[in-house]
Structure 1
Amino acid sequence: MKTKDRFKNLQFWSLLLFLIPILGFELANPKLDQIAKFIYVDIPRIWTDVAMKDWELPNSNPEFSAQPVSEAFYYKLPERVIYKTYPVYHPDHEPEGYWEWLHEQEAEIVLDDSQLFTEEDYIKAGELLFDYPIDTMGAVINTQHVRNRDFYTATDMPITPEGIMPFAQWVVAGKGKVYLGNLSCAMCHTRVMDDGSLLKGAQGNWPGDKAFAFAMESDDASEKAVQWVTNALFGSPWVEGDPHGNLLSRGKDALIEAYKAVPEGAFGRQGTSILFPPQTPNLIGVKDRKYLDHGGLGQHRNIEDMMRYIAMNQALDFLNFYGEYNPIGLTKERLNSGDPIFFPGTYDRHSDAQLYALAKFVYSLNPPKNPNQPSALSEKGIIIFAEQGCITCHTPPLFTNNKLTPADGFLVPEEHYDKYDIFDISVGTDQGYTMKTRRGTGYYKIPSLLGLWYRGPFLHDASLANLEDFFDPARLEVDYVPTGFKPHDVKTKAVKGHEFGMDLNAEDKKALIAYLMTL
């Protein structure tokens, strides 16, 4: 919505609020009651050249730190139109005639920024935007995949009791214009629970990399195409050893196996890796976190930072330059030519009001009721938690000290101590993600332990399936078979680092885990 239109609305509602008590109106009318809850929101302009200059941390190799598009470029992008969407059913559960009925529907725009007045309005709109797919070009999967029974079998796709696949939606842009929508926030941050219910904002269980592997195989994509898209997602040729370049050189079959190796609960999002895949973050409680991404790439000092993070991560980082390198092969001349760049997520943007609503919804997320109630065993675990020194890094009540810890091999620059919150001790976990990817900062953020009971797999690379594995000393040995993520080309692999609690006896480990599951 244009600024002047928003201002006119604000003038009208502010005047009405001013007149209500003067004229003696009663607020028994529900509509008047809603007006009384009206809030003035000065929507910030979040993508400014000044703000974007130091919002993100530098790359672990500072020469290749991200250079985002300019403020002028960003605000020339058209604002995203939000159409009504419809659920995607497993073919065996799709209501009779549903597909034909979808094609008879007209496009319906379901969000008007000018009608957002109250905190509740913004949160409700934010939930709609959280679920809204920003791509209809087939960025991950397309129509033929989700209407194929083999897709669900090959990916072990979670579905709801109603047969809905909740990670994508049908977007109706006009009569007969039905597109499969990808790349919503909900795609990665929705978890189908054991009872079939959906938990929004959780560490999701979308098997995205398996789905992408199925798409490439079923479409019989060429080796060149698979290599190109994989490089666009993960290419970082400046890092030591260029592991992604080496993977590309091994050909299509090796690439597809690498995608298939990434388990549910992790996802090779752009700028990261399928060699060091990031655990999908839990967004519930994120309003209290000081850094975003496993490497703490994005500072989180206020709601504007969250809005920037959402905007950047809805694929605009494909337009970043890293030195002279761009992931999709753009030159700076082509980027700034004024011609549209038709790549998923880069040809339009959310309005600042939409980003504000989305951030408000994310901030509103609350955990579900925990079925693990305190017990004598968990009470014993509290004492063990303190005795083992866990509270130093995982400090109550947030169960994180909100600091960054350097990876092994990363020398903290002196100026970082004044700019960032650093706990200058490494816990020795695998440094691949933060030292060998575009998003790598040299750090890992110290995660919160809240909500462990509905999360998993664990560690930043999702290498351990459950907490029992976490405290198993066998995981430190080279003949260990990881229970979560295991690289496609290895049979055994030590899961090193974070060795706290390893020496506890079986009963004390059980008590500590019982306590952790109550958080």
Structure 2
Amino acid sequence: MKFKTDQLLKKLRISSFIYWPIFVFPLLWGGKLPDQIVGWADEIKIQIPKVWTDEAMEDWELPNSNPEFSAKPVSEEFYYNLPERVVYKTYPVYHPDHEPEGYWEWLHQQEAEIVLDQSTLVTEEDYIKAGELLFGYPIDTLGALINTQHVRNKDFYAKTNMPLTPEGIMPFAQWVVAGKGKVYLGNLSCAMCHTRVMDDGSLLKGAQGNWPGDKAFAFAMESDGASERGVQGITNILFGSPFAEGDPHGKLLASGKEAILAAYRAVPEGAFGRQGTSILFPPQAPNLIGVKDRKYLDHGGLGQHRNIEDMMRYIAMNQALDFLNFYGDYNSIGLTKERLNSGEPIFFPGTYDRHSDAQLYALAKYVYSLSPPINPNQASQLSEKGKIIFAEQGCVTCHTPPLFTNNKLTPADGFEIPEDHYDRYDIFDISVGTDHGYTMKTRRGTGYYKVPSLLGLWYRGPFLHDASLANLEDLFNPVRLEDDYVPTGFKPHDVKTKAVKGHEFGMELDAEDKKALIAYLKSL
């Protein structure tokens, strides 16, 4: 087995000239490396873990709040029979008024170019770089959310209030060129939900995103002239959970097309009704910066995060193999277990191929590498006062420095914690009283919310579990507890006023102390 000298040195990370003769001299004269050296090189290669095993998938996720309907994923055999994803070169999507002259025609003249060869990935840095590429790579070209005609329509941008870069690029989707003349709009990349366009137009990767996805999807269905039955069908695929108490999504479907579209349009930027969640109880798009230190993933702590394999599992499941899950006998896309086990391909967005384990490892390594931007809110006399108030108010109990989370799960009101959960999970057995709809009435509901980290609050928002408050000042305003309050963030489509209850801490502070506390929170 022969190696090019630079490749071998890269693999072994040798920087000292002392070792060069051992490896270089045999190669210069066309010789072979000694078997023991080749063996050493093989041993220190990065070992990619096998992610989707029946044993690992058995207890990785928490049970549903209604345990009888806990998610049952596809088998290891099914998963590894899926073809691995091919990663083509992608191109930016411009607002029609900003698209360079001739760009569209030029795109159609491009040949397909595969841009990721995982056999070349050797070092940690290689994997992180590949992970960044994969983070922005769309896994769907079937038009899962939006398609070509939407993003080439000026009304799409106006009606969704779509954030753009200074160059007029819409950074939440990309053009995928799969061959000359084969230009498809790509959806469902990690970056779609986890990219934030900042006030100056710069992009913050991994942040709580501000992709107005539900408004965009409402525009797509409306502009396409989707029938009432069609709107009901896709909404049921995304959010249906007939086993949930009261079946709130079933009631939404029965309310008709216009009400459903209004529910989509009500979800603010920074929240997103991804599959298995809800547009009635929309979760925040999570901030991934610093996620490597968090013990639970997903809004309700659905996925345990004990090691990098768990992060890889979470990525695989969410892009978008959870559509194949069974919840008891229920499957959201109408599969039967016989059909799933037949071996026939299932052509549904995100389910007909998969990331390789090496690709998942690269993605996880990139997510772990994400670092926060420079905080413009530097420490001051006011924030130092707020730091003292933060401690005096007992905030450190749940939001413990330096991570500013105790990394535990807190139960929702009305959820009875099973006795065995205390031994299996990290539970802070006190509810802070926030709305329980998401974690008690969705496919991803566990009965818990994870205690969020407060790091990076200055670039995040909206806040609380249902994104109902637009800014931190609202959090400490006691007026929000009144029934005639108009939420500044998410407000359900069918209500005019609504009390935003829960997390009722710091409201008794005077105006100056609140100002100091907020200054401290923004400095984290």
The normalised TM-score by structure 1 is: 0.95
Given that residues 10 and 123 in structure 2 are in contact (C-alpha distance below 8 angstroms), is that contact kept between their aligned partners in structure 1? no
Q: Where do 1:28-47 residues align within 5 Å? A: 40-47=45-52
The correspondence for 1:424, drawn from 429, 434, 458, is 429
Runs of 4+ in structure 1 over 6 Å off: 9-13, 15-20
Q: 2:247 aligns with which of 208, 232, 242?
A: 242
One-letter amino acid matched to 1:81: V
How far the C-alpha of 1:120 sits from its partner, in A, is 0.9
Q: Which residue of 2 aligns with 1:185?
A: 190
Question: Deviation per CA, 1:228-253, whole angstroms, max 9, x where unpaired?
Answer: 10000000001111000000001111
Is 1:134 paired with 2:139? Answer: yes
**SS of aligned partner of 2:91:** strand
The reply on whether 1:328 has 2:333 as its aligned counterpart is yes
Task: After TM superposition, give the deviation of residue 294 of structure 1 in Å.
Answer: 1.2
Residues in 2 aligned to 1:336 and 1:112: alpha-carbon distance in whole angstroms: 31
Displacement of 1:116 after TM fit?
Answer: 0.4
RMSD: 2.0
CA contact (8 A) 2:164 2:201 kept: yes
* 1:447 to 2:444 alignment: no
Which of 500, 503, 508 aligns to 2:508? It is 503
Q: List aligned pairs for 1:4-153, cutoff 5 A.
A: 21=19, 23=21, 40-153=45-158
Contact 2:278 2:438 (C-alpha < 8 Å) held by counterparts? yes
SS at the partner of 2:495? coil
- Give the aligned partner of residue 265 of structure 2: 260
- Unpaired runs of at least 5, structure 1: 27-35
Task: Give the match's secondary structure for 2:523.
Answer: coil
Q: Distance in 2 between matches of 1:467 and 1:17?
A: 50
Q: Does 1:219 pair with 2:224?
A: yes
- Where do 5+ consecutive residues of structure 2 fail to align? 25-40
Alignment partners' CA distance in 2, 1:250 and 1:340: 34
1:30 aligns to what?
none
Residues 60 and 304 in structure 2, CA contact (< 8 A), matched pair in contact too: yes
Contact persistence 1:39–1:118 (CA under 8 A): no
Residue deviations 1:123-167 (CA, integer Å, cap 9, x gap)? 000000000000000000000000000000000000000000000
Shift of 1:375: 0.7
- Where 1:327 maps in the other structure, the secondary structure is coil
1:174 aligns with 2:172: no
Q: 1:39 to 1:277 in 2, by over 3 A?
A: farther
Residue 33 (structure 2) aligns with: none
Check if 1:467 corresponds to 2:475: no
Q: Paired residue for 1:354? A: 359
Question: Aligned pair 1:407/2:412, yes or no?
Answer: yes
CA contact (8 A) 1:462 1:485 kept: yes
Deviation at 1:12, TM superposition (A): 10
Separation in structure 2 between the aligned mates of residue 22 and residue 85 of structure 1, nearest angstrom = 40
Aligned equivalents of 2:439 and 2:66: distance in 1? 10
When residues 12 and 155 of structure 1 are mapped into structure 2, their CA distance, relative to the original with a 3 A threshold, is same
Scaled by the length of structure 2, what TM-score is found? 0.94
Residues 11 and 122 of structure 2 are in contact (CA less than 8 Å); yes or no, is this contact kept in structure 1? no
1:282 to partner: Cα distance:
0.2
Q: Note if contact 1:384-1:508 (Cα within 8 Å) is conserved in structure 2.
A: yes
Question: Which residue does the alignment assign to 2:30?
Answer: none
Amino acid at match of 2:108: H
Contact 1:167 1:188 in 2 (8 A): yes
**2:411–2:430 Cα contact (<8 Å) kept:** yes
After TM superposition, the structure 1 = structure 2 runs for residues 270-281 of structure 1, keeping only pairs within 5 Å, are 270-281=275-286
- 2:344 corresponds, among 295, 316, 339, to 339
CA distance in 1, matches of 2:321, 2:145: 16
Q: Deviations over 1:345-392 (max 9, x none)?
A: 000000000000000000000000000011111010011000100000
Question: What is the deviation of 1:119?
Answer: 1.0
**Distance in 2 of aligned mates of 1:516 and 1:399:** 10
The code of the aligned residue for 2:55 comes to V
State how far apart, in whole Å, the 1-side matches of 2:320 and 2:183 are.
22
Tell me the CA shift for residue 424 of structure 1.
Answer: 0.2
Give 1:460 deviation, angstroms.
1.5
Distance in 2 between residues matched to 1:397 and 1:16, nearest whole Å = 33
What pairs up with 1:376-391 in 2 under 5 angstroms?
Answer: 376-391=381-396
2:300 is the alignment partner of 1:283: no
Deviations 1:165-217 (A, max 9, x none): 00000000000000000000000000000000000000000000000000000
Residue 397 to residue 17, structure 1, CA distance change in 2 (3 Å): closer
* Secondary structure of 1:199's aligned partner: strand
Distance 1:11 1:509 in 2: 59
In the alignment, which residue of structure 2 is the partner of 1:208?
213
Contact 2:11 2:123 in 1 (8 A): no
Superposed CA offset, 1:473-503 (max 9, x none): 0111111100000000000011100001010
Q: CA deviation at 1:17?
A: 6.2
Q: How far apart in 2 are the matches of 1:16 and 1:356?
A: 20
Do residues 490 (structure 1) and 495 (structure 2) align? Answer: yes
Render the CA deviation track for 1:294-323: whole Å, top value 9, x for unaligned: 100000000000000000000100000000
Q: Displacement, 1:330?
A: 0.3
Looking at structure 2, the residues matched to 196 and 25 of structure 1 have their Cα atoms a distance apart, in angstroms, of 49
- Tell me which of 146, 161, 167 is aligned to 2:166: 161
Aligned match of 1:199: 204
- In the alignment, residue 390 of structure 1 is paired with which amino acid? C
| Superimposed CA distance per residue, residues 263-311 of structure 1 (whole angstroms, 9 cap, x where no aligned partner) | 0000000000000000110000000000001100000000000000000
Contact 1:474/1:480 (CA < 8 Å) preserved in 2? yes
C-alpha distance in structure 2 between counterparts of 1:212 and 1:333, whole Å: 32
**3-state DSSP class of the match of 1:517?**
helix
Structure 1 partner of 2:400:
395
Identity percentage over the alignment? Answer: 84
Alpha-carbon distance in 2 for matches of 1:11, 1:86: 34
Deviation at 1:328, TM superposition (A): 0.3
Distance in 2 (alpha carbons) for counterparts of 1:103 and 1:275: 40
Aligned partners of 1:272 and 1:437 also within 8 Å: yes
Change (3 A) 1:11 1:72: farther
Supply the AA of the counterpart residue of 2:456.
G
